[in-house]
Amino acid sequence: MVFVPSPEDYGLGQILPRPAIPDVATDEFCAKVPNAIFASNPCRIQYCTQEMIIYRDDIVKKMCKNSIRGPTTDINEQFVKSVLSQGHLSPLPIHINPVYWSHDHALSLYPVPDVIVFSDRHTEPFDITQIDCKCLNPGSFSSGDYCFKVYYPASRTVDDSKIED
């Protein structure tokens, strides 16, 4: 299990990239769940030949709020196209999403990864492929439905899943 810090988690505030949650706050949990990994945000995972990025931020809401014109078609398609074409996980001005310049390379999407998981709680779940990059958002797990997505690296497919009552 990989845990990526959200903007509200303990740490250095809203500046990107965010470091992992300190060991002092996770030691007890890790003792009970030994396979838990607390990673930075964004987190890059190399699995065989595939590069995966997990990014936790409410970036779609920020982009819509700060756009000159709102999207006229599918908001998720427009979002994925914007992020991939700009080659950066946070294509926003620095006063909206501050960045540690010495670590800006962690937000770069060059070369384009195989999978990007955008964990955005304000956006409906989606699974969109553009430029041979599978982009998905599982949505908010705790919104009441307990829905999530499962990615299968061997077939490069995504399934919707749900925890039943």
Q: Is the pLDDT of residue 22 over 80?
A: yes
- pLDDT tens column, 82-134: 999 999 999 999 999 999 999 999 999 999 999 999 999 888 899 999 999 99
Single-letter amino acid code for the residue at 77: E
Quote the pTM value: 0.92
Q: By C-alpha distance, which of 90, 114, 113 is closest to 101?
A: 90
Name the residue ranges covered by the structural domains of the chain: 43-162
Mean pLDDT on 132-147: 86
Q: Which CATH architecture has domain 43-162?
A: 4-Layer Sandwich (3.60)
Mean pLDDT on 24-30: 94
Q: By C-alpha distance, which of 61, 64, 59 is closest to 89?
A: 59
Q: Is 15:98 a contact under the CB 8 Å cutoff?
A: yes
Q: Is the pLDDT of residue 26 over 80?
A: yes
Mean pLDDT on 11-17: 82
